[in-house]
């Protein structure tokens, strides 16, 4: 910090003012550019103070902190993707309560009736491919009874519990990609195994997060026993109540999430960016090919 040694000397000498706020008198100058700065423009430096422009210029050469997987460090930022996904699911549930047609029109449905006959113009095979995505944000409606309310409560709890840690370690874009591809993978397995099944829920994406938490936890040397216990418990529930729960969505999301997570966690550091970009695209392309092939099989005999 530099100051005029005798600010009161020389009554005819004009009082200096801040270069950003001309109406404010000051005798403090930036140690880097030597311009006068007022208290609002002062930024602490190793020696004295610097102006905001000099601090911004110096920060351009500072590399941002990164997580161990190469994402920008956002430890102090809220997990906005996690909260946004929870918000979308809750909004979708409110829409379900307002109109039962929401589930009818946006649930996962391949287009095949329970008698093995295709229903023209309906379902994924009928061109409603968006069902494979929209179904990820819907949940079992209250009118279905049973575990309807538990369905969304558990999924949102799991997303709230796992999401923030994964989002901060992977970064927002990678986390969102993982979530969406895992959910899509669950819908794809439903389509391949039982095109007549009607399914809703974020469970496929949630199981993808389970897999990612395990894979990334192992890579980073964390304690993965709690997630293993939770995963095994949910798999037992999945297969013990197969009539009420879509095991296809759970397994599809689990496998797809694991594939993407392995690419994120074990990519060579020198090629991390390209692997993190290409690997999810390859997985997604493979899933799309499976959907195209299955659709061709289902519609080949439809006039």
Active site residue 139: no
With CA atoms as reference, report the closest residue to 53 among 18, 17, 3, 5. 18
Contact 207, 253 (CB under 8 A): yes
Q: Other CB atoms closer than 10 Å to residue 269's CB: what's the count?
A: 9
CA distance 251 to 235: 9
**Burial bucket for residue 188 (CB in 10 Å: 0-12, 13-18, 19+):** buried
Spell out where the chain has E strands.
2-3, 28-29, 43-44, 49-50, 108-109, 198-199
What one-character DSSP code corresponds to residue 47? S
Of 49, 203, 246, 276, which residue is the catalytic one? 203
CA distance 37 to 43: 10
Active site residue 250: yes
What one-character-per-residue DSSP string does 109-122 give?
E-SB-TTS-B-TT-
Provide the annotated active-site residues: 203, 250
């Amino acid at each position: 910090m530099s100051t005029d040694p005798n600010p009161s000397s020389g009554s005819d000498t004009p009082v200096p003012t801040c270069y950003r706020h001309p109406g404010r008198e000051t005798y403090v100058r930036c140690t880097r550019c030597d311009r006068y700065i007022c208290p609002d423009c002062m930024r602490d430096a190793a020696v004295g103070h610097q102006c905001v422009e000099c601090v911004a210029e110096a920060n351009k050469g500072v590399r941002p902190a990164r997580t161990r997987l190469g994402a920008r460090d956002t430890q102090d930022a809220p997990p906005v993707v996690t909260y946004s996904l929870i918000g979308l699911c809750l909004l979708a549930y409110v829409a379900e309560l307002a109109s039962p047609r929401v589930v009818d029109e946006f649930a996962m449905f391949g287009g095949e009736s329970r008698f093995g006959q295709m229903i023209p113009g309906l379902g994924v095979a009928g061109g409603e491919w968006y069902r494979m995505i929209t179904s990820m944000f819907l949940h079992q409606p209250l009118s279905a009874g049973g575990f309807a309310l538990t369905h969304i409560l558990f999924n949102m709890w799991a997303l709230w519990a796992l999401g923030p840690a994964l989002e901060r370690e992977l970064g927002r874009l990678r986390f969102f990609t993982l979530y969406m591809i895992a959910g899509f993978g669950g819908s794809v397995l439903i389509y391949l195994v039982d095109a007549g099944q009607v399914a809703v829920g974020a469970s496929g994406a949630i199981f993808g997060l389970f897999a990612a938490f395990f894979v990334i936890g192992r890579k980073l040397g964390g304690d993965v026993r709690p997630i293993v216990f939770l995963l095994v418990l949910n798999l037992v529930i999945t297969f013990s109540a197969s009539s009420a729960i879509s095991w296809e969505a759970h397994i599809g999301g689990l496998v797809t999430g694991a594939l993407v997570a392995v690419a994120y966690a074990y990519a060579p550091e020198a090629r991390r960016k390209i692997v993190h970009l290409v690997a999810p695209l390859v997985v997604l392309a493979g899933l799309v090919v499976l959907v195209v092939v299955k659709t061709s099989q289902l519609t080949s005999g439809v006039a």
